[in-house]
């Protein structure tokens, strides 16, 4: 049957440029998205099916002849009886309830929420890579092992630290792994070093990893310029010092210009320097942790090298260490013997940190990212990330001032303290209201050294137009009635959850907003 085309006249379409941009409409959850109020069980109708099977043309076998009776469930599972379009619409709508890099600008500081190229998704799914079973023998998985070997080599090169383990599942586990490596190294040398030091701006995972690895944690005070205070650091260093953990650029988005001197101070007392590599996006191809004195580092492949990492995962946190620490790395590492790739466990390995070869899916995306860009492309990534951050910082500096430093690296930390003082509007109010304006919020209240902190990391993948629109949204928010801001967001199904309870006691069951 042919369907006549609908008649479209100039009057029947709304011209895009005729729509007022300005303030977003206040939407009720149900207008915005039906799944905010419905579970898939609400859509069920008894007997409704997504597919109909042809009648069976083989004789029935009683199930208990095929399976032991005590393994049978007794009754069918209570699955919702729904048609395929119901399922597709339900889950597609559900997927849009969260903001993501694919739907919105996402300047979440420290998290490097850059765009994840779809090309890498496609390449990482090549059957020769994705269909390899981890229990296949190395002889049978040479293609995948060659890619992972090359990834080890590239990560070693970018770090300036040649020995690499792809095992850790995320940055935090990379930190923990490297600290176990350090502990094994000191134990091997007969040294009893108990202390791990870190600046007060450190990411919370740093002290947590150190404590988990059995070290005593020592936090340095905050210096006025936001950088490590060398005198204070020196006063803590002795033959009990194991590791100094430092993020460079640091979490204020400032390059620790004295990092080589800091490393020297640590090495003078026999300690090691750990570089938290979460901020590598600022320095790729420009400088290397190994060149400024770091002995160990982790990468966050999901941040710096584009693994999609919204919603809590997945991650990949390879570590790179100096030659003399390579013997302690977790196994297996991938080694090359002529044209053959093999799995090996380093002689004094701390053991396995994760199953098989690490989080291969994310490593592959990172691999293709690195191969796509090459050295010049990587350098351009960092240059543009830094340029974008400084551009946005300047656009906002008069309303959300940055206390530390005149220039930032790939991110900066603004403060809403002045607007809080003048109008009672907090960093949280601005962050929440941004969701109504169609932007993901920046990181707020971290690092702790900045009051009413708003940590913004635009990344290199955003256009000037996006940064301009974001800055304009913040400016218009700051002019809104504070009452509207205190209760924002108004257009999301959930407005202000108890964030601590949501993290510590997550309720993973569907719950209607009215209950």
- Provide CB contacts within 8 A for 412, sequence distance 6+: 109, 252, 253, 389, 390, 392, 393, 402, 405, 455, 456
The residue among 461 and 492 lying less far from ligand PLP, judged by its C-beta, is: 461
Binding mask 218-257 for ligand PLP (x = CB under 6 A): -----------------------------x---x------
* Sites for ligand PLP among residues 172-211 (CB under 6 A): 172, 203, 205
Q: CB nearer to ligand PLP: give 113 or 488.
A: 113
- The interface with ligand PLP within residues 107-166 (CB under 6 A) comprises 110
What part of residues 317-336 is at the interface with ligand PLP (CB under 6 A)?
317
**Which H/E stretch holds residue 456?**
strand 453-456
Among 294, 308, 315, 491, the residue binding ligand PLP under the rule CB under 6 A is 315
Which residue number is nearest to ligand PLP in terms of Cβ?
171
Cis preceding-peptide flag for 447 (omega within 30 of 0): yes
Stretch binding ligand PLP (CB under 6 A), from 40-48, 168-176, 350-358, 413-421: 168-176
* Closest to 393 measured CA to CA, from 381, 405, 375: 405
We find the least distance from the C-beta atom of residue 233 to ligand PLP, in angstroms, to be 19
Number of residues that bind ligand PLP (CB under 6 A): 13
Residue 475, Cβ density class (10 Å: 0-12 exposed, 13-18 middle, ≥19 buried): middle
Strands 195-198 and 216-219: parallel
- Give me the least distance between CB of 251 and ligand PLP, in Å please: 6
What would you report as the CA-atom Rg of the chain, rounded to the nearest whole angstrom?
27
Q: Closest CB to ligand PLP among 300 and 306?
A: 300
Q: What's the min distance (Å) between Cβ of 101 and ligand PLP?
A: 15
Min. distance of Cβ 195 from ligand PLP in angstroms? 20
Q: Which residues contact 294 (CB under 8 A, 6 or more apart)?
A: 159, 160, 161, 263, 273, 274, 275
Nearer to ligand PLP, 317 or 332 (CB): 317
3-state secondary structure 467-505: HHHHHHHHHHHHCCCHHHHHCCCCCCCCCCCCHHHHHHC
- Which residue's CB is nearer to ligand PLP, number 172 or number 430? 172
User: What is the rounded CA–CA span in Å between residue 502 and residue 505?
Assistant: 6
Residue 119 makes CB contacts below 8 A (sequence gap 6+) with 368, 372
Q: How far is the CB of 247 from ligand PLP (least distance, A)?
A: 5
Q: Is 171 in the site for ligand PLP (CB under 6 A)?
A: yes
Q: Which residues bind ligand PLP (CB under 6 A)?
A: 110, 170-172, 203, 205, 247, 251, 276, 278, 300, 315, 317
């Amino acid at each position: 049957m042919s369907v006549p085309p609908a008649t479209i006249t100039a009057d029947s379409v709304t011209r895009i440029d005729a729509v007022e941009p300005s303030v977003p409409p206040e939407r009720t959850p149900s207008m915005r998205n039906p799944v905010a109020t419905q579970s898939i069980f609400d859509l069920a109708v008894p007997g409704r099916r997504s597919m109909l099977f042809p009648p069976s043309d083989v004789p029935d076998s009683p199930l208990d002849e095929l399976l032991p009776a005590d393994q049978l469930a007794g009754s069918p599972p209570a699955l919702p009886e729904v048609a395929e379009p119901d399922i597709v619409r339900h889950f597609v709508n559900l997927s849009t309830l969260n903001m993501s890099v694919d739907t919105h600008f996402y300047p979440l500081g420290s998290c490097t929420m850059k765009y994840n190229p779809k090309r890498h998704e496609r390449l990482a799914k090549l059957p020769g890579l994705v269909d390899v079973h981890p229990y296949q023998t190395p002889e049978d998985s040479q293609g995948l092992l060659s890619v992972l070997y090359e990834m080890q080599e590239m990560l070693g090169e970018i770090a300036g630290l040649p020995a690499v383990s792809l095992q850790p599942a995320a940055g935090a586990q990379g930190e923990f792994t490297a600290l176990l490596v350090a502990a094994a190294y000191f134990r091997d040398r007969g040294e009893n070093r108990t202390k791990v030091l870190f600046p007060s701006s450190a990411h919370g995972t740093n002290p947590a990893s150190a404590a988990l690895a059995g070290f005593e944690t020592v936090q340095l005070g905050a210096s006025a310029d936001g950088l490590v205070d060398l005198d204070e650091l020196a006063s803590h260093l002795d033959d009990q010092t194991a590791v100094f953990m430092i993020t460079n650029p640091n979490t204020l988005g400032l390059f620790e210009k004295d990092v080589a001197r800091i490393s020297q101070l640590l090495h003078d007392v026999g300690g090691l320097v750990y570089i938290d590599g979460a901020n590598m996006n600022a320095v790729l191809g420009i400088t290397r942790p190994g060149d400024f004195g770091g002995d160990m580092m982790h990468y966050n492949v999901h941040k710096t090298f584009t693994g999609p990492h919204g919603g809590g995962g997945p991650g990949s946190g390879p570590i790179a260490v100096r030659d003399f620490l390579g013997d302690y790395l977790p196994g297996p590492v991938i080694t090359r013997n002529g044209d053959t790739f093999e799995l090996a466990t380093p002689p004094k390995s701390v053991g396995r940190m994760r199953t098989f070869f690490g989080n291969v899916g994310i490593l592959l995306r990172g691999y293709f990212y690195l191969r796509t860009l090459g050295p010049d492309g990587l350098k351009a990534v960092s240059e543009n990330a830094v340029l974008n951050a400084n551009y946005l910082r300047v656009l906002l500096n008069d309303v959300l001032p940055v206390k530390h430093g005149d220039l930032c690296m790939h991110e900066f930390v603004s403060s809403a303290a002045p607007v809080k003082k003048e109008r009672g509007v907090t960093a949280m109010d601005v962050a929440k209201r941004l969701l109504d304006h169609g932007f993901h919020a920046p990181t707020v209240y971290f690092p702790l050294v900045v009051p009413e902190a708003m940590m913004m990391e635009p990344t290199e993948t955003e256009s000037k137009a996006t940064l301009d629109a974001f800055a304009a949204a913040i400016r218009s928010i700051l002019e809104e009635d504070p009452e509207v801001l205190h209760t924002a967001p108004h257009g999301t199904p959930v407005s202000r959850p108890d964030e601590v309870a949501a993290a510590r006691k997550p309720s993973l069951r569907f719950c209607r907003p009215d209950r």
